[in-house]
Amino acid sequence: MNFRDKAITGLFILGSTLGAANAAEKPNILWITSEDNGVSWISCYGGKNTKTPAIDQLAKEGFRYLYCFDNAAVCAPTRSCWITGMYGISNGTQPMRSRNEIPHDKIPYYPDLLKKAGYHTSNPGKTDYNIGGRDDYEAWDLGKKKGNGKRSPYGWKARKEGQPFFCVYNTTTSHESKAHGAVNQVKNDPAKMTLFSYHPDLPVIRKNYAKYADAVERMDGDVAKCIATLKKDGLYEDTIIIYNSDHGGVMARSKRFLYASGVHCPLIVRIPEKYKHLYPADKPGSTVERLVSFVDMPKTWLSLAGAEIPDTFQGRVFLGTGAEAEPKHHLGFRERADERLDHVRLMRDKRFAYHKNYMPYAPAGQHLAYLWKAPATPAWEQHHRDGKTNEVTGRFFRPRVSEEFYDNESDFDNVKNLIKDPKYQVRISELKAALRKKQLELFDSGLLPEGMRMRRAKENSMTIYEMVRNKKLYPLESYLDAADKALVRDAKNLDDFVKAMSDQDEGYRWWAVVGLHLLEKDAASAKETLKKALKDDCHEVRMMAAWSLVKLGDSTEAMACLNDLLFNATTNEMMLHNVLDWMGEPALPLVKKFLADGGSTRGKYGISILGRVGELQGW
Ligand SMILES: [Ca+2]
């Protein structure tokens, strides 16, 4: 071997040694997620209804984040956000559920990048990414569908010897479905349950809480088992463990909703001593005050793994040597959940929360088949129908105001709307401005109703992601202005609405008809415009115009229009059924006819919207 060869060999050895050292430095990452339990169900967060010793122990050995919030408040859009690192509203994947396509050549999934960084990636459990055009499991080295037979839920076991791993362990034991069904056999004492102030104190509600508390405690057992397995495999001191829930909940008005009980989640990170340079506070056992949004998580995992981070990742790295500046605010979004339409945006900081209701004419607590499977929900609703709820416990079932504002420090239950309180106007303006800025930055795709948004993307052979980034097809700034004008319910805007009802863009006509609708009696002089709108090309506009006319006491043509949409086909059946339910009594003859004609009483998750209307009427 000559000198040159020796030098090359030496370099090679040096190189591989460095490589090995780098590999050894790459921490394993175990991401434990549980379902549907907000901070109130975890004892180290002060939850009074449950004991969660495994999670509490992890907090003692790790770092407990006090201000961690989900962006979507419900499963599928949350998981879309996690897998892509993008807010669902930014790529059109926010409705629960949908499988809208995104440009997969532009938007990688975070395990793709972890793999490139040398990691073994596994997620043998739930995916629910809510995205079309790509198989959920395809991104993982070990997913659910690959291979045969029963698989270990602990994906790290499938890695190659010495390979760093990233593993998701998702326990479904505390999923909402575990609060469904009979509530008589419960381990926890119903009398000892602490109820949210918006729930009436009824025996069945207490029992349902106890049933869910049992489920959360079993979930904690799953966490204990997962950690014990990791220890048994000799990996505990080589692995960063993250624990959090996938959104808040559960018990009606938490999961799916942007109130604190729906978005405020536990987040605990345990970092082994050997990686102590990554500690977010002085020592294990501390709490961390940094605000964390769920969208920050995948980006942070990439950073911890030393992987490439493309600019499609919209969060901020919250931990480790690559940590970015703490965000001041957190954005949350709510749109369709199963068969029920809604549209809300949340902008909050650690303490204060501003909510904008883009569909305030619908109550938050509209019947949703899946949510009604927990006995507490129908019991609460019946209590309301019986006239027994008060201002706090009945508000869920009433139409909403356009804006809400809460002080979460004194009002975690979000029952005292301070939107008009002079003391908070500066803070409210700040959050409103932050919301608008973020909506523009993200290309918030929600400013056209879902059906209209999908049609427009399809007509232009685009994904929603692409459509909303085209200013001609989606003039977001003007849509935000049009929506704000509609939501403010100010009669001085009437002429503007009437004018906008002739706009060529159905998007402006939509916000104009919403504006007219919300003006109620103040829109009486616009009846002719509304009647003309009964023949609008856009069915969403027709429906809202019809409902508005009915409210103004001018029903004949309006009901004929709805009859036509219901029996001679419509481009947006889901919205039509929602509108007929929101209308209440005036729509009953149409619903009766629909059911008598054999209209379906079955929906995807139980009774259909109109089936339920019929059920309440005893038909
Ligand atoms: Ca969930």
DSSP 235-259: -GGGEEEEEEESS---STTSTTS-S
CA 483 to ligand 1 center in whole angstroms:
31
Rounded Cα gap, residues 101 and 302, in angstroms: 24
Partner residues linked to 166 by β-bridges: 29, 121
Q: What's the whole-number average pLDDT of the chain?
A: 95
Give residue 349 CA to ligand 1 midpoint distance, Å.
23
* Cis preceding linkage at 290, omega within 30: no
What's the rounded mean pLDDT across residues 544-559?
A: 98
Model pLDDT, residue 159: 95
d(CA 345, CA 551): 27
pLDDT in tens, 577-609: 999 999 999 999 999 999 999 999 999 999 999
Q: Tell which phi-psi region holds residue 12, choosing left (phi > 0), alpha (psi between -120 and 50) or beta.
A: alpha
- In angstroms, the CA 178 to CA 211 distance is 8
Predicted confidence at residue 391, as pLDDT, reads 97
**353 pLDDT higher than 70:** yes
**What local confidence, expressed as pLDDT, does residue 145 receive?**
63
Contacts of 372 (CB under 8 A, 6+ apart): 378, 381, 606
pLDDT of residue 7: 42
In the prediction, which pLDDT does 23 show? Answer: 44
- 258: CA distance to ligand 1 center in Å? 14
d(CA 363, CA 371): 14
Looking at residue 25, its pLDDT comes to: 79
Kindly give the distance from the C-alpha atom of residue 110 to the centroid of ligand 1, in angstroms, as a whole number: 20
CA of 249 to the centre of ligand 1 (A): 9
Query: 205 falls in which pLDDT band (50, 70, 90)?
Result: very high
Q: 315 CA distance to ligand 1 centroid (A)?
A: 21
Q: Which long-range contacts (CB under 8 A, 24 or more apart) does 207-210 make?
A: 207/183, 207/375, 208/179, 208/183, 208/251, 208/374, 208/375, 208/376, 208/379, 209/49, 209/251, 209/376, 210/49, 210/183, 210/186
Query: Ligand 1 center to residue 209 CA distance, Å?
Result: 17
| Contact indicator for 548, 533 with CB cutoff of 8 Å | no
Distance 75 CA to ligand 1 centre (A): 4
- Residues 60-67 have a mean pLDDT of 98
Give the pLDDT confidence of 130-160 residue by residue, as tens digits: 999 999 999 999 877 655 456 789 999 999 9
**Mean pLDDT in residue range 411-436:** 98
The pTM is what? 0.95
Nearest to 484 by CA among 430, 436, 546, 423: 436
How much distance in Å is there from the Cα of 255 to the middle of ligand 1? 8
Report residue 83 as tokens: 């897998």
Structure tokens at 360: 């305030």
- Distance (angstroms) between ligand 1 centre and the Cα of 43 equals 19
CA 79 to ligand 1 center in whole angstroms: 9
Q: Cα–chain-centroid distance for residue 145? A: 26
pLDDT at residue 11 greater than cutoff 50: no
13 — pLDDT class (breaks 50, 70, 90): very low
Distance 170 CA to ligand 1 centre (A): 10
- Gap from CA of 183 to ligand 1 centroid (Å): 21
Once rounded to an integer, what is the mean pLDDT over residues 522-547? 98
Which band of pLDDT confidence, cut at 50, 70 and 90, is reported for residue 419?
very high
pLDDT of residue 503: 98
Cα(243) to centroid(ligand 1), Å: 14
Counting Cα atoms < 13 Å in the Cβ hemisphere of 194 gives 10
Nearest-5° angle of CA 135, CA 241, CA 233? 90
What is the pLDDT averaged over residues 164-191?
Answer: 98
Distance of alpha carbon 453 from alpha carbon 506, whole angstroms: 11
The CA R_g of the chain, rounded to the nearest whole Å, is 26
How far, in Å, from the CA of 35 to the mean position of ligand 1? Answer: 4
> Which contiguous run of DSSP H or E holds residue 330?
strand 330-334
**Separation of CA 76 and ligand 1 centre (Å):** 8
- Distance of CA 175 from the midpoint of ligand 1 (Å): 6
Of the candidates 607, 559, 149, the residue with the CA atom closest to the CA atom of residue 369: 607
Q: Which two tokens stand for residue 288?
A: 């961390």
Rounded CA separation 108/122 (Å): 16
Topology match between the domains 25-184+216-327 and 475-617? no
The SS3 call for residue 554 is coil
The helix/strand/coil state of 67 is: strand
Does domain 25-184+216-327 bear CATH number 3.40.50.450? no
- pLDDT number for residue 18: 40
Ligand 1 centroid–CA 169 distance in Å is: 13
Q: Could you state, in order of their start, the residue ranges of all structural domains in the chain?
A: 25-184+216-327, 475-617
Pairing of the two strands 165-171 and 120-122: parallel
Where helices occur in 170-202 by DSSP H, the ranges are none
At 235-288, the pLDDT tens digits run 999 999 999 999 999 999 999 999 999 999 999 999 999 999 999 999 999 999
Give the per-residue pLDDT at 147. Answer: 55
Neighbours of 97 (CB within 10 A): 16
How far, in Å, from the CA of 250 to the mean position of ligand 1?
Answer: 9
Report CA(421)–ligand 1 centroid distance (Å).
Answer: 35
Cα(78) to ligand 1 centroid in Å equals 8
* Spatial distance between the Cα atoms of 573 and 564, rounded to a whole number of angstroms: 12
Q: How far is the CA of 361 from the centre of ligand 1 (A)?
A: 27
pLDDT digits (tens, 9 = 90+) for 69-95: 999 999 999 999 999 999 999 999 999
Q: Of 20-24, 331-335, 596-600, which range is least confident?
A: 20-24
- Distance from Cα 33 to the centre of ligand 1, integer Å: 9
Residue 498: asked if its preceding bond is cis (omega within 30°), the reply is no
The vertex-336 CA angle with 377 and 99, nearest 5°, equals: 125
CA of 130 to the centre of ligand 1 (A): 13
* CB-count exposure of residue 578 (10 Å: 0-12, 13-18, 19+): buried
Cα(494) to ligand 1 centroid in Å equals 42
Angle between helix 588-596 and helix 556-567 axes, rounded to 10 deg: 30
351 confidence band (pLDDT: 50, 70, 90): very high
Structure-block tokens of residue 353: 């929360």
The Å distance, Cα 476 to ligand 1 centre, comes to: 31
For 475-617, the fitting CATH number among 3.30.460.10, 1.25.10.10, 2.40.50.140, 3.40.50.1220 is 1.25.10.10
CA of 126 relative to ligand 1 center, distance in Å: 10
